[in-house]
Amino acid sequence: MNAEDTQKMADLLKALGEFNRLSLVYRLCDCQTPQNAMCLCDCCSVDASVVSRHLKVLAEEGVVQFEKKGREKTYSLNKSEIAQTLRNLADKIEGGDE
Amino acid sequence: MNAEDTQKMADLLKALGEFNRLSLVYRLCDCQTPQNAMCLCDCCSVDASVVSRHLKVLAEEGVVQFEKKGREKTYSLNKSEIAQTLRNLADKIEGGDE
DNA sequence: TACATACTTGCACAATTATGCAAGCATTTA
DNA sequence: TAAATGCTTGCATAATTGTGCAAGTATGTA
């Protein structure tokens, strides 16, 4: 495993490894439709600006994607991509590629 | 998902989400036998004291386990447990439990 | 006993991070 | 146009984190 890929994986895990960000991810798990940021604010008891920044981190790491709709931004999980990445890590840890 | 479980999962992901710690995990992936800390030092270019502290974090989160052997400590990955936890997260994200 | 090896711990420090508040921008509505 | 809504950004701050060095402990060896 080269350093670049290791860093990328670490960055993803770090993005997921914060309480409020993970809460946002869990919240999005339960939504069938994309949600705007104000709606997502409900799941963590922090300022809206904080939620905005956490969503930005998640978007930068490819965990969520968003669409701009008027003055709203609607977010959804990149479910299959993130799930696949986590499963690949699980496989590697369990020794599936040796 | 309750707050306690969310925090626990976030703590695990945070433990994995740092470059040198993830490097240690990857290194242990490739070892068939438990490795001592000095050997593990090779995979990250930081002081031995730093490796010691990272291994402590990984042990606290249950990522690795160790055995004391004389003046050495030999570390190994909790492969199946961590792999299972990551797969559960992947399943949840992909919506497998709805 | 003296020394070497394997690790841990205390201290200091720089860098990063999470946060709230206030002010900003963009868009929609009255 | 004025006001409301949804979100972002700048600033300040407290807390956390990663790191190296030096000194410590514990165990093995000469």
B8-58 confidence digits (pLDDT tens): 999 999 999 999 999 999 999 999 899 999 999 999 999 999 999 999 999
Burial per residue of B67-92, b for 16 or more beta-carbon CB atoms within 10 angstroms, e otherwise: eeeeeebbbebbbeebbebbbebbeb
Cα B21 from Cα B19, distance rounded (Å): 6
* CATH code 1.10.10.10 for B3-94: yes
Cα-Cα-Cα-Cα dihedral sign, residues A44, A49, A50, A51: positive
What does the pLDDT read at residue B97? 58
Confidence class for position B98, pLDDT limits 50, 70, 90: low
Å between A3 CA and C5 C1'? 30
What does the pLDDT read at residue B95? 83
What is the nearest nucleotide to B69, using C1' and CA?
Answer: D27
Cα B67 from Cα B52, distance rounded (Å): 14
Tell me which residues of chain A, numbers 40 to 79, contact chain B at a CB-CB cutoff of 8 Å.
77, 79
Confidence class for position A1, pLDDT limits 50, 70, 90: confident
Å between A25 CA and D2 C1'? 38
Q: Which two tokens stand for residue A69?
A: 């709709």
What does the pLDDT read at residue A20? 98
Tell me which residues of chain B, numbers 23 to 42, contact chain A at a CB-CB cutoff of 8 Å.
23, 25-26, 29-30
Asked if residue A96 has pLDDT above 80, the reply is no
Asked if residue A97 has pLDDT above 80, the reply is no
Å between B68 CA and C5 C1'? 15
Q: Is B52 near strand C, with its CB below 7 A from some atom of it?
A: yes
Mean pLDDT across the stretch B67-94? 96
What does the pLDDT read at residue A34? 93
Asked if residue B80 has pLDDT above 70, the reply is yes
